[in-house]
Each structure stands twice: as structure tokens, then as C-alpha cells.
Amino acid sequence: MRVSIVVDGERVESDPEPRLLLAEWLRSIGRTGVHVGCDSSSCGACTVLVDDLAVKSCTIFTVQVAGRRVTTVHGLTPADGLSPIQQAFSDEHGLQCGFCTPGFVVAVEALLREKPDPSDDEIVEALEGNLCRCTGYLSIVHAVQRAARLRRGESASVVAGAGHETPLAVNTVQDRAVQENMSESEVV
């Protein structure tokens, strides 16, 4: 089926197999920042925006986004540096191996478009579909808070990790999710 999809602002014409997953198609056209970390729709590493909605691209077929706008982490990365979200992840140590990070960056973009000043609970809820094996999540929540401040034009000169009131339950809940949903063998 011939499809026309706007990917990261560029119109792409393609003829994908009907059952080709969007994640695989995006990687085949060079969007290798779209990571595939599981086969159970649980890790969120493949998250992209379809129009303004965060979607796990391993859960839909390419033909289902015909005529839509798809934005990957590539489209959210400035040519000359880091976006405020990426800078905040770096500043707050919101990544270690970085495998999960593209998915988080996209999911955070969707959150901050809808809620420029999210609460801790709203951040945790928005990112519950994204798993990270490395960070323990607290630094990711701090990174989102910092990114939100940056995007609102506020000073981000708060010492990394200081002054935050993230619920301790974040670690407990998310760590359990990692253990249950993402065994070692699922990471590719």
C-alpha cells in the first residue's frame, strides 16, 4: 500500500508491507534513534509522536499512520546542540546507558506540550509506559521538572536533584515494573 507520511517535518512516500511495524519502518529510513527494546509493548523505547500523541511505534503498523505527522527523537533534536529536554536529562543525570532515553525524550515532549508545569504525579503518570533499567527514575523526574522550567523560560540554575519532592513511591513502583516486564533477554 502506497503511503505518504510526514516524518520529522519531511514528507516520505513509501510502499511498506501491510504488517510492517512503524518502529521497524522508521528505523529502515534512518530513524535509528527509535529503539526496540522488547517484544511485549512494555518498554517505551520506541515511543514517537503521531501528530501530538505519544505512541509506542512497535504497537502499530506503518500503514495506520498514512497521512499523519510522525515525530521521532531525531525531529526533536536541534542541528546544533541539545533541546531543553535533552539538556535537562544531561544536567540531572537522567540517563546512564541511554538506551531508553529517546523514548523518554519523546514522551516528555508530549507531556510538556499538554502540561507545561506538570506535578510530580503527572510526570510519573505520563511516563509510566517507559522503562529504564539504569537510573532508578528519580533523576528522570528531576530532569522533566528541569526541562519544564527551561521551556517556560525560567532559570534552571537549581542544583541538580535539589529541592525536589518526588514521591519515594516512584522508585518502588517503577522498579517493580522493570523486574516484572523487562527481563535481561528482552533487551536487544
Does position 110 bind ligand FES by CB under 6 A?
A: no
| Contact assessment for residue 90 and residue 83, using Cβ atoms and an 8 Å cutoff | no
| Contact assessment for residue 134 and residue 150, using Cβ atoms and an 8 Å cutoff | no
Strand, helix or coil at 61? strand
Does position 107 bind ligand FES by CB under 6 A?
A: no
Interface with ligand FES by CB under 6 A: which range of 42-50, 84-92, 116-124, 153-161?
42-50
Residue 183 one-letter amino acid: S
Does position 75 bind ligand FES by CB under 6 A?
A: no
The smaller minimum CB distance to ligand FES, of residues 4 and 41, is found at: 41
| Exposure b/e, 84-123, CB count within 10 A at least 16 = b | bbbbbbebbebbeeebbbbbbbbbbbbbbeeeeebebeeb
Smallest distance, Å, CB 124 to ligand FES? Answer: 16
Does position 5 bind ligand FES by CB under 6 A?
A: no
Residues interacting with ligand FES, by CB under 6 A? 36-38, 41-46, 56, 58, 95-100, 132-135
